[in-house]
Structure 1
Amino acid sequence: MHLLALSALPPSVAGAARRLCASVVTPADAQRSDLVSLIVSRAESVGADAVLTFSEYAVVAVAEACEALGLAGAGGAAALARDKRLMRRTWQQHGLPQPEFRAVATEEDLHEAARALPYPMLLKAAWSAGSTAHQTIRAPHEVSDAWHRSRHVMAESAQLGYAELHVAEANADFVVEQIVTGAVADWFDEPGWGDYVSVEGVVADGTFHPVCLSGRMPTVEPFTERAGITPALLSADAQDRIVALARQAVDALGLRDCGTHTEIKLGADGAMWLIETAARFGGAMTVPQIEEVFGLDLVGMLVDQLLGRPVEWPEQALTPARARGAAGSLVVLAVDGRGEAWQDRRVWNFPAVAERVPLSRGSELSVVAESSLADGDLVPVYDPAAGANTMAALCLLSATDPRTVLRDFETLVDALPRVLPAAHREEVSI
């Protein structure tokens, strides 16, 4: 395996990458101006039989490179699963349920869309990830501020390296859509779950194979994801209906060989709306969670698929009855369980969390170092517009069942502002 690192590797994984990979190349900035050519050139130089990425920001470039190389990949339709404008138009053409929407490229476009859509509405960047640049618009006087704030956040994200790596000026493309109302009680037997789920799957030779469903905690204002839990604790009938809609969504996009991650909003009386589909596996720790709970190495299976080897994908989405325990990943944000900002600044310190947060018997908590601040770093103030860009850490939890993961995460969220060390005045001023 050869690694083409499109950004600097975190120190916590750089050493492992050098040990495990036949080569690690980090190109100069000038080489990244034509990312597809860069990938093609590197793949040809090492004689690559397959090319894959787990980065949302490189999905389109890798798909186009695979097309140029004659290798298996997501295919020419990959952009439909990346650009939210194209995605929604495709689903609209297929008559699939989704929020009403408008594509916007200018402030005037947004004002025009706001006159046509019902309030409240959500402005989001067409090529963003991690809920970056999301802005809720509740009234006409908020339109201009939302536009300028989202544009500013996308520019900041690009400077931080959290931006589309292939499409020029992608940070200028936006979509605004109706905010639909979820109904948790119509789908889950107990409170605490979020009003949406994700269907994890794969497309192999153009055929969609659902793997399992991930449950969620409620999002943080406006719609920043806090936690994903494997498996989702749904009835068999509810899971079947959700998977059927996910299949329609993925099939409509025309993908060929890739992981998929489809998010679906759950409403009253069985209503569902498509949020989005990605031509990659779910983010955070979704893949390790699935391996722990269901024993499937999705990365290895996808590699075999890309290499033309036989792969036995699940015949249908795996249910909680097939699970061996449960697992979840939690994004640490400086926001409490009610969605309110912490009253004072805190310093990230995982040993303090592990020692002082009371979890259920049998639960095991760990931190994902490469996605977390170093111990002693100041926890960022949560910025609703910046979404996951203001996360402090990513934690992974293993437990006996999904309910326990949910309750332990609730305990963890409530405890963090108490157990983390308080920041000194000089740290905050910096």
Structure 2
Amino acid sequence: MSTVLFVHAKGGPPPGYALSRVAAKAVVHVLALSALPPTAAATAERLCASVVAPAEPGRHDLVSLIVDHAQEVGADAVVTFSEYAVVAVAQACAKLGLPGAGDSCTLARDKRLMRRTWQERGISQPGFRPVATERELHRAAAALTFPLLLKAAWSAGSTAHRIIRSAAEIPAAWSRARDVMAESAQLGYAELHVAGAGADFLVEEIVRGSAADWFDEPGWGDYVSVEGVVADGRFHPVCLSGRMPTVEPFTERAGITPAALPPAAQDRVVALARDAVDALGLENCGTHTEIKLGAGGRMWVIETAARFGGAMTVPQTEEVFGIDLIGLLTDHLLGRPVTWPAQVRTPNEARGAAGSLVVLAVDGAGDAWPGRRIWDFPTVADAVPVSDGSRLSVVAESSLPDGTVVPVYDPAAGANTMAALCLLSAADPRTVLADFRTLVDALPHVLPTAPAGTGGARI
């Protein structure tokens, strides 16, 4: 039987889910660059041939570490589903002579290189400038139009995003963004291979979205993501995921599969995603491409990743469309024949809908809860009414334990201050959206009140 080395790090689909899909295809050995959550560790112990956790994996020798371990276990393929390890794994695969994301994988990781590549190809995107110092940020702001968004070039999950509305806000935004990147590195949410990546930033113009011009019902966010795969250099779009409106600055609150776009609109979005992915020259990997939707049919590419979407995007795709993206990619990397979807799936082909909600301590308008609360999913399940036929659950691997104080939402830290991840299955996307709005409104009222003076943990 074939052998796969599974390189685990923070982020991506729940590791227990991903491990089970890879283990169904091959003997699996795990190289854990960050600790597996307890539930995933139990899955790994049951399904995997070995789990190795290096004491202190260094950035400079990470590729060699992966190569050596792959050779030791006789790996026929090496996979990762973490944003923070894709570059190292791509380079290791190249050294091993195994199929991987390819030499251009960094273009789908470093947002500065990504945007320069798209700029050269004339692909629609916000105006931007790379910045490495506060002085450069001042110069870039003078060349762009406020409001601006400062973001870390190697971040994920909206970490270190800061909105800048005037030049006077630049010093505080620069200082806070750098502090957050340092804090994220301590939590394990940082690039694992590129030294000094936490100091790399870009600033971009904030384009004005308009969900009302694209969706037939209110409540949707003004951007979507195209989930797909690149196999032997060819892009295969699979489906679209929609969003609830983000929490300021641009922290994702919920992803919903499928996105309820009309067919003609979906075709236009997929065409832009194809241009964006093709421009990066990827070889063999999952893709997750975010596109902003504007008035009058305008669109802008926000970013593309050389990996599948995080949180529950991949499980949602499997539930709704019956497509096991991780299993298919594993088969492909192992040289087995794979039949990819001939065209992107539409809402009419979906078997219901599914969505994942990030629990943040803010209400539907994005305002902070009036007081601290304790996370307790059984209370939520009992007290929050969802639609008939809807099923609400919690993703334990991505959630704080019941009884933990919910962290105060920090706009700069983004998803780092989440309390939990909830999964909901329903009859259609509209129902998921409605149930999530009910859930967001109810959480500060149904969760137990925290004792005065208590602090909150982070996942």
Partner SS, residue 57 of structure 1? helix
1:79 matched to which residue of 2? Answer: 106
Alignment of 1:45-194 (within 5 A): 45-194=72-221
TM-superposition CA deviations, 1:152-198 (whole Å, max 9, x none): 00000001110000000000000000000001111001110000000
Percent of aligned pairs sharing the same letter: 75
Give, in angstroms, the shift of residue 399 of structure 1.
0.3
Measure, in 1, the Cα distance between the counterparts of 2:456 and 2:139: 42
SS at 1:427's partner residue? Answer: coil
Residue matched to 2:394: 367
Partner of 2:295: 268
* Alpha-carbon distance between aligned partners in 2 of 1:365 and 1:17, rounded to the nearest angstrom: 26
Q: CA deviation at 1:427?
A: 2.6
Does residue 197 in structure 1 map to residue 219 in structure 2? Answer: no
RMSD: 1.0
Pick closer, same or farther for the CA change 1:429–1:10 going to 2, 3 Å.
closer
SS in 1 for 2:78: coil
Q: Quick check: 1:358 aligned with 2:385?
A: yes
| 1:74 counterpart letter in structure 2 | A
Cα deviation per residue 1:67-103 (whole Å; 9 max; x = unaligned)? 0000001000100000000000000000000000000
> 1:9 Cα shift?
1.4
Structure 1 residue 341: deviation in Å?
0.5
Closer, same or farther in 2 for the Cα pair 1:30/1:277, shift >3 Å?
Answer: closer
Gaps of 5+ in 1: none
Contact 1:32–1:38 (CA under 8 A) maintained in structure 2: no
Q: Take 1:104 and 1:140, find their aligned partners in 2: how far apart are those partners?
A: 15
TM-score (norm 1): 0.99
Offset of residue 8 of structure 1: 1.2
Cα distance in 2 for partners of 1:118, 1:238 equals 28
Task: Please report how far the alpha carbon of residue 10 of structure 1 lies from its aligned counterpart in structure 2 after TM superposition.
Answer: 1.4
Q: What residue number does 2:11 align with?
A: none
CA-to-aligned-CA distance 1:97-141 (integer Å, 9 cap, x gap): 000000001111101001111000000000000000000000010
Question: Is the 1:326–1:399 Cα contact (8 Å) retained in structure 2?
Answer: yes
DSSP-derived class of the 1:362 partner:
coil
Please state how far the C-alpha of 1:314 moved relative to its aligned partner.
0.6
Paired position in structure 2 for 1:35: 62
Q: Which stretch shifts more, 223-232 or 32-41?
A: 32-41
Following superposition, the deviation at residue 366 of structure 1 comes to 0.7
Aligned partner of 2:6 in structure 1 is none
| In structure 2, C-alpha distance between the alignment counterparts of 1:47 and 1:429, rounded to whole Å | 43
SS in structure 2 of the partner of residue 129 of structure 1: coil
Q: TM-score, normalised by structure 2?
A: 0.93
- Match among 225, 231, 234 for residue 207 of structure 1: 234
Unmatched segments (≥5 aa) in structure 2: 1-27
> Do 2:407 and 2:455's aligned partners in 1 also have CA atoms closer than 8 Å?
no
Flag the 1:421–1:67 CA change in 2: closer, same or farther, 3 A: same
| Aligned counterpart, 1:289 | 316
In 2, the alpha carbon distance for the partners of 1:29 and 1:61 equals 15
Q: Secondary structure at the match of 1:415?
A: helix
Q: Give the Cα–Cα distance (whole angstroms) in 1 for the partners of residues 302 and 41 of structure 2.
A: 35
Once the two structures are TM-superposed, the CA of residue 16 in structure 1 deviates from its matched residue by 1.5
Runs (4 or more) in structure 1 with deviation over 6 Å come to none
Residue 339 of structure 1 aligns with which residue? 366
Shift of residue 31, structure 1, vs aligned partner: 5.3
Can you list the C-alpha shifts for 1:393-412, whole angstroms capped at 9, x where unaligned? Answer: 00111000000000000000
Instruction: State the number of aligned residues.
Output: 430
Counterpart code for 1:409: F
More displaced stretch, 325-334 vs 418-427: 418-427
| Equivalent residues of 2:59, 2:195 under 8 A apart | no
Query: Is the alpha carbon distance of 1:159 and 1:311 closer, same or farther for their aligned partners in structure 2, counting shifts above 3 Å?
Result: same
Q: CA deviation at 1:33?
A: 4.6
Query: In 1, Cα distance between the equivalents of 2:225 and 2:249?
Result: 18
* Aligned residue identity for 1:213: L
| 3-state SS of paired residue (1:251) | helix
Residue of structure 2 in register with 1:325 after alignment: 352
Instruction: Name the CA distance, whole Å, in 2 between partners of 1:357 and 1:152.
Output: 37
Is this contact kept in 2: 1:219–1:226, CA < 8 A? Answer: yes
- Is the Cα–Cα contact under 8 Å of residues 33 and 57 in structure 2 kept in the other structure? no
User: Aligned with 2:454: secondary structure?
Assistant: helix
The answer for the alignment partner of 2:376 in structure 1 is 349
Equivalent residue in structure 2 for 1:246, among 257, 273, 290: 273
SS of alignment partner, residue 425 of structure 1: coil
Cα pair 2:60 2:194 within 8 Å, conserved: no
- Change beyond 3 A, Cα 1:23–1:233: same
Equivalent residue in structure 1 for 2:330, among 300, 303, 307: 303
Which of 1, 5, 14 lines up with 2:41 in the alignment?
Answer: 14
Classify 1:304/1:429 alpha carbon distance in 2 versus 1 (closer, same or farther; 3 Å): closer
